[in-house]
């Protein structure tokens, strides 16, 4: 009985192999995602083949163009699906397109079955026709459009941020350099607070008041007293009239100011003060008490008088 059953199984298996072999010699229908496409559309073209586990398949590479008018976009790709115990379905697909309308004949493809290195069978994939259609142009309602301009992509933050960073660094450096130069001019440290400068007459009057407070001539420091007064007046003249005074002698300062048409009793008094100051500074002259007492008021009167003139000039100039 067992022997009988074994014979039956052998016969059935032989029939199965024979059936497969017979079926492999038949035409295998090709697969198409679509058989009619518009110009430029892409379509998958291929076949599905059922092969035993120990068999490998071989297909000739497709040429480009596949046929005149049909372009190959990508060659065959194979996808293996296990369907039965010892058989596989293999999907093979190529992508093709056409840029011209018409009917194209896609030729047969041959699939070779190898068992090891031995060619055991061949299968032919049937030929197909690919219809390529075009878009009909409605000449009655056709309207021509202008060419579209280049597309502007929106700028992303990632592109902008580095430039913003660079700009901030440059600005910060510029500000630091500006402060450094300005503070160096004003003899201040880099982060020192900005000093508000008083107008020349205020500075001069304050200095003169300080000199008065020091009581220099009362303490027999006449030379220092007159030096400080004349230096204050020189500083004031330099700031008020933009005349360099510290590098000039008294006679030169007088000449320069008279060329600026400075006159009046205050100016005459100041000239006298300069004369007395020169005598005290360079000739060991002992000024009288009256001269010493008059010195600061004379300087103050000159500052006030010239300051008022300046205000009037500014008012006249609008």
Partner 1 sequence: MDTVNIKELNERIQLESSFVDLLTMEMNKVIVGQKHLVENLMIGLLANGHILLEGMPGLAKTLAINTLASCVNAKFNRIQFTPDLLPADVLGTMIYSQKTEQFQIKKGPIFANFILADEINRSPAKVQSALLEAMQERQVTIGDETFKLPEPFLVLATQNPIEQEGTYPLPEAQVDRFMLKVVVTYPKKEEEKLIIRMNNGGGYQKAQPILKPEDIARAREVVKEVYMDEKIEKYIVDIVYATRTPEEYGLGKLKDLIAYGGSPRASISLAMASKAYAFIKRRGYVIPEDVRAVCYEVLRHRIGLTYEAEAENITTENIISEIINAVEVP
Q: Which is nearer to partner 1, 45 or 274 (CB)?
A: 274
Residues that bind partner 1 (CB under 8 A): 227, 244, 246-251, 278, 281-285
Cα 214 from Cα 224, distance rounded (Å):
11
Q: How far is the CB of 248 from partner 1 (least distance, A)?
A: 6
Q: Which is nearer to partner 1, 89 or 231 (CB)?
A: 231
Q: How far is the CB of 275 from partner 1 (least distance, A)?
A: 10
Q: Which is nearer to partner 1, 243 or 300 (CB)?
A: 243
Q: Which is nearer to partner 1, 72 or 279 (CB)?
A: 279
Distance of CA 292 to the CA centre of its chain: 70
Q: How far is the CB of 257 from partner 1 (least distance, A)?
A: 15
Q: Do 106 and 129 touch, CB atoms closer than 8 A?
A: yes
Task: Please identify which residue in the block is written with the tokens 């008022």.
Answer: 308
Q: How far is the CB of 245 from partner 1 (least distance, A)?
A: 9
Taking alpha carbons only, the member of 207, 218, 221, 183 closest to residue 296 is 207
Cα 163 from Cα 168, distance rounded (Å):
9
Q: How far is the CB of 188 from partner 1 (least distance, A)?
A: 20
Cα 235 from Cα 227, distance rounded (Å):
12
**Per-residue 3-state assignment (H helix, E strand, C coil) for 90-148:** EEEEEEEEECCCEEEEECCEEEEEEECCEEEEEEEECCEEEEEECCCCCCCCCCCCCCC
Q: Which is nearer to partner 1, 267 or 285 (CB)?
A: 285
């Amino acid at each position: 009985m067992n022997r009988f059953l074994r014979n039956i199984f052998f016969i059935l298996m032989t029939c199965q192999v024979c059936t497969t072999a017979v079926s492999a010699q038949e035409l295998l229908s090709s697969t198409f995602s679509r058989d009619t496409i518009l110009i430029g559309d892409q379509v998958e073209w291929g076949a599905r083949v059922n092969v035993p586990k120990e068999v490998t398949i071989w297909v000739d590479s497709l040429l480009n163009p596949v046929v005149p008018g049909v372009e190959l976009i990508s060659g065959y790709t194979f996808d293996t699906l296990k369907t039965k115990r010892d058989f596989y379905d293999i999907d093979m697909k190529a992508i093709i397109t056409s840029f011209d309308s018409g009917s194209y004949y896609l030729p047969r493809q041959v699939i070779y079955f190898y068992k090891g290195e031995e060619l055991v069978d061949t299968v032919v994939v049937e030929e197909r026709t690919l219809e390529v259609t075009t878009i009909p142009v409605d000449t009655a309602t056709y309207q021509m459009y202008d060419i579209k301009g280049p597309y502007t992509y929106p700028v992303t933050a990632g592109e902008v941020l580095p430039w913003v960073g660079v700009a901030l660094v440059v600005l910060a450096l510029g500000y630091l350099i500006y402060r450094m130069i300005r503070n160096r001019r004003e003899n201040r440290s880099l982060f020192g607070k900005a000093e508000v400068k008083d107008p020349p007459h205020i500075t001069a009057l304050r200095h003169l008041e300080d000199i008065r407070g020091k009581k220099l001539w009362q303490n027999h420091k006449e030379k220092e007293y007159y030096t400080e007064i004349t230096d204050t007046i020189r500083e004031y003249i330099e700031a008020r009239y933009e005349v360099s005074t510290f590098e000039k002698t008294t006679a030169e300062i007088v000449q320069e100011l008279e060329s600026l048409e400075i006159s009046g009793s205050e100016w005459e008094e100041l000239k006298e003060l300069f004369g007395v100051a020169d005598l005290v500074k360079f000739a060991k002259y002992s000024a009288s008490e009256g001269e010493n007492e008059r010195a600061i008021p004379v300087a103050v009167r000159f500052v006030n008088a010239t300051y008022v003139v300046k205000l009037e000039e500014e008012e006249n100039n609008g």
